[in-house]
Structure formats: structure tokens, C-alpha cells
Amino acid sequence: MTQYTRRLFIETISAGLGAAVSHPSFAARNDADQPPARKLNVALCGLGRYANVLRSGFAESRYCRLAGIVTGTPAKAAQWQQDYKLADRNVYSYQTFDQLKNNPDIDLVYITLPNGMHKEYTIRAAQAGKHVIVEKPMAFTVRDCQDMIDACQKAGVQLAVGYRLHYEPHHSELMRLGQQNIFGPVRLIDASLGYQLAGTPPNDWHLKKSLAGGGPLMNLGVYCVQSGRYVLGEEPLSVTAQYGPVTMPSLFKEVEENITWQLTFPGGAVCTSATTSNCNIDRFYAAADNGFFELNPALSYGPFKGRSSQGPFNFPVVNQQAALLDDIGRHILEKKPLPSHIAGIEGLKDMRVIEGIYRAADTGSKIILPQG
């Protein structure tokens, strides 16, 4: 049985046991590192639930600082401005957003708005000359994702998607075990995520197709799709999918409440997933020829608990948001391209699969997924 300590984990990734786990962000957060000459100045666009989760990420980040906000709620603006001692010129509404182009104190905009606003504000931020981090899902369609990528490339800014789990050591271990066939070829993955929305106000944006784009598949299923792709290091070939059941028809009039799907991969693995707004579920399990590995909880904010055929994992708890901010901040400050695993193209690849899942559920047919 292998017991994984923080020191062993850092030594392991430093030794380069594969691209899957060799994320420079972990090395960047080593206590021996010198702080950067300056931090990247970030404006948060949208001060909802996830923006509050990001507070601790900014507090711990060595490479990024919260320097501005964008909100449509004056009370939130006043509170955040007080909390972070923000200058008046760095506080924006959605109506004044485009004035960011005249503010050299802001380097990057982090978009945590409802899904349906991701494309518009990514493009507007790019046109203002600011780098962008956009939360998941990146957009509603592959075409939307490509438009966002094109706008950022045209403006000469970088576009990242908030794939925080790439910076979490349990997930780096899943990538190593899967991509390097430590227990032989992976045959089956079960990755599922859901939370209970009973009692949610009917005007919540997650229930509105125009703002959410879909139900739990858009908001939670992206994590399941991502985990299958990065654990195997492959792109899925085909998908079948099924809606239902609907247990809360008064709430779920516009978007799905439950959906399950099955992805096939080139190496022969099948990834089965369920995502739901009916109950709390958060798990990952992979079965290989000579063993298994799993996390439960698995895809949420953690702390995670996992094991493999060799025994329990014992990885350090890291602040996923701080690690993500640090890697993005370090790359931009050093004028280097962002790693592909968080770049806009990764969000487009996930959306390609999600579009296929919806088509499969709508038609009842197996859908061959685009490649490339």
C-alpha cells in the first residue's frame, strides 16, 4: 500500500511521472518559491455563489489579486469594495463594463455569471483588451465557444476555462493511474454528480433555459465529461443518453431534471454517468484489468476521499481555486501561452460532447461524436 504525503506528491510531479500530473502550479506553490514581482490584477464579473467561493482562492493566491468587480447589485458592490479596499475606478456595473478598456489597473476578467452570459462578456472583455477566465460550461454551443476563442485571439488576449480539478492532487493521481495504465487498461468509468434543487425558487436561473442552457448536464455534467476525458487521455467516439425521470414537474418546465449517458472511447473504455437535480451524488469509480481506483466525494469542492487497489490515498488538501489562479497568473505574467488543459479549446471539446449527449437523449439514437 502506498501512502501519499504532500512531500511525496511534489517529488512525484517534479520527477515528471507523465504530463497528466506534471502541473507547474504545484511547484509554483512550493513554500521555497520567491513571490512574483507583482500580482496579476483580476476583476470578478458577477458576484454570485461561486464568486464567494473564490474569496479564499484570492486570499491564498501568490500570483493573482482581486483588484476590481463587476456587478448589477449596488449593495454587493459596496460590500465587496469595502472588503477589498477597491478604488472607485475599479468598480463597474454591466452598463459601464466596456470602460474596462481604459483601466490599466485591470489585467484579467474572471467571469462567474450565469451560463447564458459567458459568451457576451468573454467577447466584451477581450474587446476591452483583458485576458479572460470563464467558468464552466464555457458556453451553450460549440459555435459559441469558437466565437469566444476567435475573439480572444483577435484581441491578442488569453482565454482560460475554470478547470480547477486539474490542480487537485487526487485528480492528478486519477490521471496518472488511468493514462499510464497502472492497473492495466481501464474498462469502465462511473462518474456522477448531482445536488438537490427541491425547494429552489422557480425563478432561479438554473431553471431557465435562456440563462442555464440546460439542466444538470450543463451545470454539473461537464465535470463528469471532463473526468472521463482526462483520466483516459482520450476523446470519446460515441454516446447514448436517456432523460428522466421528472420528479419535480413544477420546477423543471424548461430544462432537464435528470439525465444519464454512456460514452465509448478509442481504447475500449465505457464511461457511464448520471447527473441530477433530484439528489446529492458525487462519485468517481474506474475499473481496470488489474485493479480499480475511486473518489467519493469526487467532483465537487472537496475535501476528497479516495483509494485504489494499492490502498487509500493520502494527498494534501489544496485550495483548488488558488492553484488555478496561480497557474494562470504565472503564465500570463511570464507572457507564456496557457496550458492546453485550461485553455478555451478544452471548453469547446467538452461542449462538443455535451451537444452530443443532448442529441442522443433527444433522438434515442447513438450519436457519433466529431473528432479533431
Q: Where are the domains of the chain?
A: 35-164, 182-314+344-368
Q: Is 136 a catalytic residue?
A: yes
- Using only the alpha carbons of the chain, give its radius of gyration: 20
Residue 185 cell numbers, joined: 487498461
264 close to 353: Cβ distance less than 8 angstroms: no
Q: Is 223 a catalytic residue?
A: yes
For residue 170, the model assigns a pLDDT of: 98
For residue 20, the model assigns a pLDDT of: 39
Is the Cα dihedral 153, 157, 162, 167 positive or negative?
positive
Q: Are strands 40-45 and 64-70 parallel, antiparallel or unpaired?
A: parallel
92 close to 99: Cβ distance less than 8 angstroms: yes
**Which of 357, 170, 187 has its CA nearest to residue 274?**
357
Q: What are the residue ranges in the chain where pLDDT is below 70?
A: 1-33
For residue 9, the model assigns a pLDDT of: 35
The backbone region for 46, taken as left when phi is positive above 0, alpha when psi lies in -120 to 50, beta otherwise, is left
C-alpha to C-alpha distance for 5 and 16, rounded to whole angstroms: 17
Catalytic residue among 110, 223, 230, 358: 223
178 close to 286: Cβ distance less than 8 angstroms: yes
Question: Three-state SS for 181?
Answer: coil
87 close to 104: Cβ distance less than 8 angstroms: no
- The arrangement of secondary structure in 35-164, i.e. its CATH architecture, is 3-Layer(aba) Sandwich (3.40)
Residue 316 cell numbers, joined: 494534501
For residue 33, the model assigns a pLDDT of: 65
C-alpha to C-alpha distance for 306 and 298, rounded to whole angstroms: 8
- For residue 343, what are the β-bridge partners? 160
For residue 334, the model assigns a pLDDT of: 97
Residue 34 cell numbers, joined: 520567491
For residue 6, the model assigns a pLDDT of: 33
User: The CATH number of 182-314+344-368 is which of 3.10.20.30, 3.30.1330.10, 3.30.360.10, 3.30.9.10?
Assistant: 3.30.360.10
Tally the residues of the chain.
Answer: 372
Angle at 315 between CA 309 and CA 321, to 5 degrees: 125
For residue 19, the model assigns a pLDDT of: 36
- For residue 161, what are the β-bridge partners? 134
Residue 95 cell numbers, joined: 452598463
286 close to 259: Cβ distance less than 8 angstroms: no
Catalytic residue among 39, 119, 130, 136: 136
Q: How far is CA 203 from CA 139, 200, 251, in A?
A: 21, 8, 9
Q: For helices 344-363 and 142-155, what crossing angle results, to 10°?
A: 170
Tell me the residue type at 70.
V
Q: In terms of pTM, does the model score above 0.85?
A: yes
Bond from prior residue into 337 cis (ω within 30 degrees of 0): no
For residue 34, the model assigns a pLDDT of: 76
Question: Three-state SS for 295?
Answer: strand
